[in-house]
């Protein structure tokens, strides 16, 4: 038979081990803020279990159990705060203080003012279940349109724990099977406590899976982002273009691509230095993003070259976005004074057609062709790639596809 001290010792060892694991995760990944709350939760749970063991040597007072119960509620609140932080939701220390304070005050009332085991257990169960219930929507919902396996596991375990807490309260209120006591465990109660230990480990395993999934996604994002500007890199561009080609192939709806080159960028580097050149690239990125629509994607493909993917857009709409990017650059250049460096760009615009099929390099080549024409026309402008319609046989030898220049500086 498992004794009360043995069960509390299991609790202490379990939560200390979890706390050490989360402390290590917190130290290795300081930007992963949820780990701080889960570390605090584990150590609060271990401290609560350790304080509860004092009841064995202090049998005449319930104070150790009241303190231990408050610490257990704090541990649950900290775990829920970690869940909210993981999903980028605001956390409230005030709400945590209110829940813990209400639980402590309620348990003290039903101990020193009106001694009632059912009353204490009712308050204790409510303050434990309430924060857990508030976290279920986050755990069982979708994060950016996808299900997080670790969060789903944590949500299922949370539901099971809530059911056990509810059943424990029911047994206490009805007196079924002799009721529930923290000091005189029956074999069935011992099994329940051990199950809760196992579930606490499973819950933290779900948290670890959530952390691994988040860190893996961050690494994947870093592989697709440009270090200097923070927008997509060439790999991300090709991935996105491949997706858009496949989508347009299925739906028949076109999309547009802008290829952008900063005019005279080599001269900026040679005259002002590479740091100034980097600042120009970052400044252009910010300006261009202010003129894009939701869903448009800006990427830096190398050096001073950028691309903008415009989903579900025609050549005319692509020219409109190109004009807007040019206008913001020209307006910014007109305000330059002193050592400010004006930024001018040339833009080539092309639209996906069925002839390009699933080959994004063909669309890039068409936009590059238009970019070359824009530069040849004097730079600081844009041009669109617009192949001429099919000609009569006698005119084929006399004409070739042309590039329509839409705007010049």
Q: Which residue has the tokens 């068409």?
A: 366
Coil, helix or strand at residue 146: strand
Report residue 388 as tokens: 């001429």
Q: What percent of the chain is predicted at pLDDT more than 90?
A: 63
Considering the domain 234-407 in this protein, what is its CATH number? 3.30.70.270
Taking only the tens place, the pLDDT of each residue in 332-344 is 999 988 888 999 9
Mean pLDDT to the nearest integer, 227-241: 91
pLDDT at 262 over 90: yes
Query: What is the 8-class DSSP label of residue 111?
Result: I
Instruction: Show me where the domains of the chain are located.
Output: 4-223, 234-407
> What backbone phi and psi angles, to 5 degrees, belong to 16?
-65, -40
Burial (CB count within 10 angstroms: exposed 0-12, middle 13-18, buried 19+), residue 220 = exposed
Which one has a higher pLDDT value, 179 or 301? Answer: 301
Q: What is the pTM of this model?
A: 0.67
Residues 6+ apart with CB under 8 A from 184: 4
Residues 6+ apart with CB under 8 A from 275: none
Q: What percent of the chain is predicted at pLDDT more than 70?
A: 91
Mean pLDDT to the nearest integer, 29-58: 90
Mean pLDDT to the nearest integer, 61-90: 93
Taking only the tens place, the pLDDT of each residue in 286-333 is 999 999 999 999 999 988 999 999 999 999 999 999 999 999 999 999
pLDDT at 131 over 80: yes
pLDDT at 404 over 50: no
Query: What is the 8-class DSSP label of residue 408?
Result: -
Q: SS3 letters for 344-357? A: CEEEEEEECCHHHC
Q: What is the DSSP string of 260-307?
A: EEETTHHHHHHHH-HHHHHHHHHHHHHHHHTTPPTT-EEEEEETTEEE
Considering the domain 4-223 in this protein, what is its CATH number? 1.20.1070.10
């Amino acid at each position: 038979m498992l004794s009360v001290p043995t069960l509390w010792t299991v609790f202490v060892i379990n939560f200390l081990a979890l706390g050490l694991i989360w402390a290590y995760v917190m130290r290795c990944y300081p930007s992963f803020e949820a780990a701080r709350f889960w570390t605090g939760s584990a150590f609060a749970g271990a401290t609560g279990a350790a304080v509860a063991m004092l009841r064995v040597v202090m049998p005449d007072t319930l104070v150790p159990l009241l303190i231990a119960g408050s610490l257990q509620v704090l541990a649950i609140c900290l775990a829920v705060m970690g869940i909210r932080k993981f999903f980028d939701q605001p956390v409230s220390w005030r709400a945590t203080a209110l829940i813990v304070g209400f639980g402590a005050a309620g348990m003290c009332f039903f101990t020193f003012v009106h001694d009632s085991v059912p009353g204490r257990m009712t308050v204790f169960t409510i303050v434990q279940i309430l924060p857990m219930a508030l976290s279920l929507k986050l755990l069982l919902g979708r994060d950016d349109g996808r299900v997080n396996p670790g969060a789903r596991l944590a949500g299922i375990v949370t539901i099971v724990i809530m059911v056990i807490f509810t059943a424990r309260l029911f047994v206490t209120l009805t007196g079924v099977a002799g009721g529930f006591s923290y000091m005189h465990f029956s074999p069935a109660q011992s099994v329940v406590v051990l199950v809760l230990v196992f579930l606490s480990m499973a819950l933290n395993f779900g948290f670890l899976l959530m952390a691994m999934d988040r860190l893996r996604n961050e690494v994947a994002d870093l592989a697709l982002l440009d270090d200097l500007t923070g927008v997509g890199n060439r790999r991300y561009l090709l991935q996105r273009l491949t997706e858009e080609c496949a989508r347009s192939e299925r739906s028949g709806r076109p999309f547009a691509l802008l290829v952008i080159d900063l005019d005279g960028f080599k001269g900026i580097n040679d005259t002002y230095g590479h740091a100034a050149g980097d600042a120009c690239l970052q400044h252009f990125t910010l300006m261009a993003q202010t003129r894009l629509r939701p869903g448009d994607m800006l990427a830096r493909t190398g050096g001073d070259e950028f691309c903008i993917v415009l989903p579900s857009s025609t050549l005319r709409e692509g020219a409109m976005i190109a004009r807007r990017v040019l206008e913001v650059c020209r307006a910014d250049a007109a305000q330059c004074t002193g050592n400010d460096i004006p930024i001018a760009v040339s833009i080539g615009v092309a639209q996906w057609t069925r002839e390009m099929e699933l080959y994004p390099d063909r669309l890039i080549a068409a936009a590059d062709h238009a970019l070359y024409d824009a530069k040849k026309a004097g730079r600081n402008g844009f041009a669109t790639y617009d192949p001429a319609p099919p000609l009569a046989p006698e005119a084929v030898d006399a004409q070739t596809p042309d590039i329509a220049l839409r705007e010049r500086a």
